[in-house]
A = this chain, B = another copy of it.
Amino acid sequence: MTASRRTTIGHAGSLPKGVARRLEILDRAIEVFRERGADGTSLRRIAEAIGVSHAALLHYFDSREQLLVAVYAHAESQRHLAEGPAAPSGMDRMIAAAMANVDVPGLVQLYTTLVAASLESRSEVGKEFFTARFARIRESLTAELREGQQAGTVRDDVPAEHLAALIIAASDGLQIQWLLDPAVGLEAPLRSLAAMLEPR
């Protein structure tokens, strides 16, 4: 957390007061969710745990779902900042992201809860966020895999866009199986998937 905290303080120094306060709330909320995820907690109880008033929380976020999506997006962007400019290749990045979640089961739970909620017809914020998020990750991963196919480092008997969708799906699905039963492992099966991407 040291790196991400520094990042936030950096924000706070250079951003308008409202934006900085919003980021502070998100940082606190991540800490709250780190252990156990959202676990059905109401916005009021989240406010208590964060140490702000319910009204203050509603000033920054219209609904519980909007707060939770913002918390998840903030946690994800912190991770990207922490990764720095020398980002590893797509598959290694997915493995690194999944492994980073080993220390924060609450974020995996929050992610799964939010994805599930985004499938419900009432959810607009979530549906929009996750549809865009999946599309963005698939697109960048597809481009990277296609380059690998051209360079001969990735198998080319399967379309790059299928590989991208499968890698994301496997990573998401494995984290759920691992949360329910840690014996399933996370890094080892993902390394096996990486081996399956190699040219035949």
The residue on B at minimum CB distance from A135 is B181
Kindly state the separation between the CA atoms of A136 and B38 in the bound complex, as whole angstroms: 28
Contact of A134 among B120, B121, B177 (CB under 8 A): B177
Q: Mark A104-133, 1 if CB is under 8 A from B, else 0.
A: 000011001101111111100001001100
Segment 147-200 of A: residues with Cβ below 8 Å from B: 155, 157-159, 162-163, 165-166, 168-174, 176-177, 179-181, 184-185, 188-189, 192-193, 195-196, 200
Contact of A116 among B115, B159, B170, B173 (CB under 8 A): B115
Residues on B with C-beta less than 8 A from A122 are 39-40
Instruction: State the number of copies, please.
Output: 2
Contact of A179 among B36, B112, B119, B196 (CB under 8 A): B119
Contact of A193 among B116, B166, B189 (CB under 8 A): B166
Least Cβ distance of A113 to chain B in Å?
A: 5
Residues on B with C-beta less than 8 A from A127 are 180
Kindly state the separation between the CA atoms of A162 and B170 in the bound complex, as whole angstroms: 11
Max chain B Cβ within 10 angstroms of own Cβ: one of A112, A119, A162, A179: A119
User: Which chain A residues have a beta carbon within 8 Å of chain B's beta carbons?
Assistant: 36-40, 108-109, 112-113, 115-122, 127, 130-131, 134-135, 138, 155, 157-159, 162-163, 165-166, 168-174, 176-177, 179-181, 184-185, 188-189, 192-193, 195-196, 200
